[in-house]
């Protein structure tokens, strides 16, 4: 089958388009997907994590995946971050040093994810952070990876990618899995059906977690929301049939027209922020990284 991909941005429209791709191709087996990018004039490079998760689910059903007719400006960016090299395109050196490269990690690759954060976040416009705050910030991102490991059942692994946009004055980092999704996990945990947006809203409430045992969940998400509120950035989550956005201290949860196969978390940081961030004493950095 042939699927024409439109412009992809880190917003509800972009996630709806990727969910539509999965909706169109999920029944394919022992076949071929041709992803036609003729109409795609803009692709937020960090969204390669989300697209990678969708294409991995399709490929795992023994389908060939080919990406064709990529516009030169889009091809340049998606070759610089290494995404298109997985589909037969040539590698391009990132001389601008603005990409956080596309990586597909196994669920057992927690060490590689730690290395990725340490190596790739430097020099990308993140506001100044005191040592303890910086360590908790990275741990909060690491918790997203850990949630994928323990809850997603993502046989395809975890996908990560990011992009520093100097002219837009922001840094975006996306972490995705190709698993069962948060709404399905919440339904299983609560034991009764919920609309996808209701299930995602439940999971994002303070104190709610599907984790069992002594380790609490949701600490990293609250930390990132507090950071976004002060920084002026944005936190977006797409999972199953629901889309969540937190910006300017306001939450919104909406249904997606189609189901996204897994979960994507995108953090956008305002790089014009000149504040220095430090811990207020309520969170201990000890033992983190």
pLDDT digits (tens, 9 = 90+) for 26-37: 999 999 999 999
Instruction: Please write the tens of the pLDDT for every residue from 18-71.
Output: 999 999 999 999 999 999 999 999 999 999 999 999 999 999 999 999 999 999
The pLDDT score that the predictor gives to residue 219 is 66
Quote the CA–CA distance of 204 and 274 in Å, as a whole number: 29
Question: Would strands 234-247 and 158-165 be described as parallel, antiparallel, or unpaired?
Answer: unpaired
Q: What are phi and psi of 269, to 5 degrees?
A: -110, 130
- Angle of CA points 51, 94, 117, to nearest 5°: 65
The pLDDT score that the predictor gives to residue 221 is 82
- Starting at the earlier edge strand, list the strands of the sheet with 2-4: 2-4, 32-36, 64-68
Global pTM? 0.91
Spans of all domains in the chain: 2-277
Task: Pick the closest to residue 80 from 190, 162, 6 (CA basis).
Answer: 162
Question: Would strands 99-105 and 32-36 be described as parallel, antiparallel, or unpaired?
Answer: unpaired
CA atoms within 13 A on the CB side of 89: 24
Give the DSSP letter of residue 145. H
The pLDDT score that the predictor gives to residue 214 is 37
**Which two structure tokens, joined as six digits, stand for 284?**
């201990």
Other CB atoms within 10 A of residue 229 CB: 15
The pLDDT score that the predictor gives to residue 281 is 59
Give the DSSP letter of residue 43. B
In this prediction, residues 169-185 reach a mean pLDDT of 92
In this prediction, residues 260-264 reach a mean pLDDT of 94
**Which two structure tokens, joined as six digits, stand for 208?**
């709610």
Token pair 């999920």 is found at: 26
**Which two structure tokens, joined as six digits, stand for 114?**
């730690």
Helix (H) or strand (E) holding 262: strand 250-270
Higher pLDDT, 215 or 98: 98
Residue 79 — pLDDT band, cuts 50, 70, 90?
very high
In this prediction, residues 196-213 reach a mean pLDDT of 76
> At a CB cut-off of 8 Å and minimum separation 6, what does 136 contact?
223, 279, 283, 285, 288
The CATH code that applies to domain 2-277 is 3.30.565.10
In whole numbers, what is the pLDDT of the chain averaged over residues?
Answer: 90
Give residue 91's Cα distance to chain centre: 23
Task: Pick the closest to residue 223 from 280, 273, 274, 181 (CA basis).
Answer: 280
Quote the CA–CA distance of 43 and 77 in Å, as a whole number: 9
Residue 213 — pLDDT band, cuts 50, 70, 90?
very low
For the chain, what is the largest distance between any 2 Cα atoms, rounded to a whole number of angstroms? 56
3-class DSSP assignment, residue 219: helix
């Amino acid at each position: 089958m042939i699927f024409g991909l439109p412009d992809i941005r880190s917003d509800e429209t972009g996630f709806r388009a990727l969910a539509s791709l999965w909706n169109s191709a999920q029944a394919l087996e022992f076949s071929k997907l041709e992803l036609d990018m003729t109409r795609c004039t803009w692709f937020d490079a960090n969204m390669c994590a989300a697209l990678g998760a969708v294409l991995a689910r399709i490929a795992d059903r023994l389908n060939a995946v080919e990406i064709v007719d990529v516009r030169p400006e889009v091809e340049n960016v998606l070759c610089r971050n290494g995404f298109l090299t997985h589909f037969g395109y040539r590698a391009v050196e990132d001389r601008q040093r603005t990409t956080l490269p596309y990586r597909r990690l196994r669920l057992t690759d927690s060490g590689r994810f730690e290395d990725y954060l340490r190596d790739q976040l430097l020099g990308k416009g993140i506001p100044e952070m005191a040592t303890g705050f910086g360590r908790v910030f990275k741990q909060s991102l690491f918790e997203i990876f850990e949630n994928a490991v323990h809850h997603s059942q993502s046989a395809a692994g975890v996908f990560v990618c990011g992009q520093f946009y100097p002219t837009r004055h922001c840094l975006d980092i996306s972490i995705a899995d190709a698993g069962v999704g948060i709404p399905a996990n919440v339904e299983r945990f609560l034991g009764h059906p919920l609309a996808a947006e209701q299930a995602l809203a439940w999971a994002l409430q303070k104190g709610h977690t599907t984790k069992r045992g002594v380790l609490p969940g949701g600490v990293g998400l609250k930390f990132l929301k507090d950071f976004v509120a002060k920084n002026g950035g944005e936190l977006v989550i797409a999972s199953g049939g629901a889309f969540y956005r937190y910006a300017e201290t306001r939450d919104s949860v909406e249904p997606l027209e189609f189901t996204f196969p897994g979960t994507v978390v995108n953090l956008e940081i305002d790089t014009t922020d000149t504040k220095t961030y430090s811990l207020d004493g309520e969170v201990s950095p000890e033992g983190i990284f």
